[in-house]
Amino acid sequence: MIQANPNLQDTQSQNDARQIAIDRVGVKRLRHPIEVADRACKRQSTVATLSLSVDLPHHFKGTHMSRFVEALHAHGRLIHVENIPDILRDLQDRLKAESAHISMEFPYFIEKKAPVSGSVGLMDYVARFDASIHGKEIDFKLGVQVPVTTLCPCSRNISERGAHNQRGIVDLDVMFNDTVWIEELIALVEASASAELYSVLKRPDEKFVTERAYDNPVFVEDLSRNIALRCRQDPRIVWFRVEVENFESIHNHSAYAVIEQP
């Protein structure tokens, strides 16, 4: 065990005279293995990119950055949802903080069958956890980023042949009072779009997806409202924020919409 050298000055703990507290200070872009509950396979191992932070009172010059990583590793090689509260409390204790925060983003894979041929492939999504503690109160948010297909209702109504469509990206974050699965949020988003995406499509599948999108045109406004309505109808979801960006295929810009449930 390495002993602390009393001759090395603790600069971070020195007094700061500017009288300005910092809301969050810490480390970000730290990669770490995690385990996530998988509805189909029970557990899924992946690698997350993390940010860890605490508040800093106005009288401290700085925080001790190494303690963030020490707190993370003190709870084992793998992070999972069950030990996030323990990590938050450890950060509070090690850094003498009133509040602490952990956010992590990670790839999440779901096996999907093509709609007609049944061809199997893995679809990758982005999932995220955002957890905070203030005093003893803990808040937890679950988020997903889901790619979808959208087809323009205006284009379909005014065109004699076809309609323009594009890929959209949906970011949905929720707070909840009972278990919500990552797969459920992804399915909620995909059901709200013109069509969902697949990693493997044969010709009959491509025909099905193309026609499905044509039969279900949605503006970016429609997509965001469809998702908001489904969130409001789920009694487990107590707060949500949905952000939609459509990468327009006939414009040199994106279409954008946000709805947040207070």
CATH topology of domain 20-261: Urate Oxidase (3.10.270)
Average pLDDT score, the chain: 91
Q: What's the pLDDT score for residue 10?
A: 54
pLDDT of 3 > 70? The answer is: no
110-157: pLDDT as tens digits = 999 999 999 999 999 999 999 999 999 999 999 999 999 999 999 999
Is the distance from CB of 168 to CB of 149 less than 8 angstroms?
A: yes
Distance of CA 226 to the CA centre of its chain: 19
Q: Where are the beta strands (DSSP E) in the chain?
A: 22-38, 42-56, 99-113, 120-134, 137-151, 165-176, 195-196, 237-247, 254-261
Amino acid in position 26: G
pLDDT of 87 > 80? The answer is: yes
What is the pTM for the complete model shown?
Answer: 0.89
Contacts of residue 226, defined as CB under 8 A and 6 or more positions apart, other chains included, come to 191, 192, 193, 218
Structural domain spans, the chain: 20-261
Distances 34 to 31, 72, 167 between C-alpha atoms, Å: 10, 11, 29
163-216: pLDDT as tens digits = 999 999 999 999 999 999 999 999 999 999 999 999 999 999 999 999 999 999
Q: What's the pLDDT score for residue 164?
A: 94
Six token digits for residue 85: 């509260």
Amino acid in position 119: S
Separation between Cα atoms, residue 37 and residue 214, nearest integer Å: 35
Query: Mind giving me the DSSP string for 218-262?
Result: --HHHHHHHHHHHHHH-TTEEEEEEEEEEE-SSSSSEEEEEEEE-
Helix, strand, or coil here: 61? coil
**Rounded mean pLDDT, 223-232:** 98
Is the distance from CB of 189 to CB of 245 less than 8 angstroms?
A: no
Separation between Cα atoms, residue 131 and residue 102, nearest integer Å: 5
Separation between Cα atoms, residue 154 and residue 150, nearest integer Å: 12
pLDDT of 218 > 60? The answer is: yes
Q: Is the dihedral of CA 9, 87, 79, 103 positive or negative?
A: negative
Is the distance from CB of 212 to CB of 197 less than 8 angstroms?
A: no
pLDDT of 16 > 70? The answer is: no
Distances 103 to 7, 21, 83, 230, 246 between C-alpha atoms, Å: 36, 21, 14, 25, 26
Stronger pLDDT, 250 or 10, i.e. the higher one: 250
